[in-house]
Amino acid sequence: MPTGLPLVLRRCHTCASQRFRANGKFRVNANHKLLDAWLLVLCTACGATAKLTVLERMNVRSVRPELLDRLHDNDPGLAAELLQDPVVQRRNRIALDWDNAWRLDTGGSDHLDREVIDVSVRFAARIPVRPMRLIAEGCGLSRAEVGRLIAEGSVVSAVRLNSKLSDDFTFTLKR
């Protein structure tokens, strides 16, 4: 589950840094019947502000009133939704860095002493994470040991466990 907003990977025009922090602030500009809206992000090195385009030259009547209210209220939930939106990412040529922006909730450690464990992983948000890392943290193993277990066939799943996933999956661990 997410613990905060991810960092935005984009080059800063002021200091050439590569990371921006979103604080959930929006800027909305109206020009007659047309609206522009941006998500403001701050450079982590120099503090310069950059704008990520959310709405561009949209007719006021075509924007849902709830969305407009959330933009005016600087809703952090809306900022999280928009950062994960592939259209916004593509339009602004950005990528997201999820390091230290999520945590693993295992629901307890009473399952670790069993011979066979069937695990279902549910994502609270579309956070791209390597399943090997989740298995290692959730089961108290090293990533090298998880890799060895996968090679032996002791960890079985219908998905590839060595590439990043952001969708729910299941796996079986045999000790």
The per-residue pLDDT for range 55-73, each reduced to its tens digit, is 999 999 999 999 999 999 9
- The Cα 127–Cα 99 span in angstroms is 10
Between these two residues, 6 and 114, which has the higher pLDDT value? 6
pLDDT per position as a tens digit, 72-103:
999 998 998 999 899 999 999 999 998 877 77
R_g (Cα) of the chain, nearest Å: 20
Whether residue 109 is predicted with pLDDT greater than 70 in this model: the reply is no
On whether the CB atoms of residues 88 and 54 are closer than 8 A, the answer is: yes
Global pTM? 0.74
In angstroms, rounded to a whole number, what is the distance separating the alpha carbons of residues 156 and 152? 10
Task: Tell me the β-bridge partners of 119.
Answer: 171
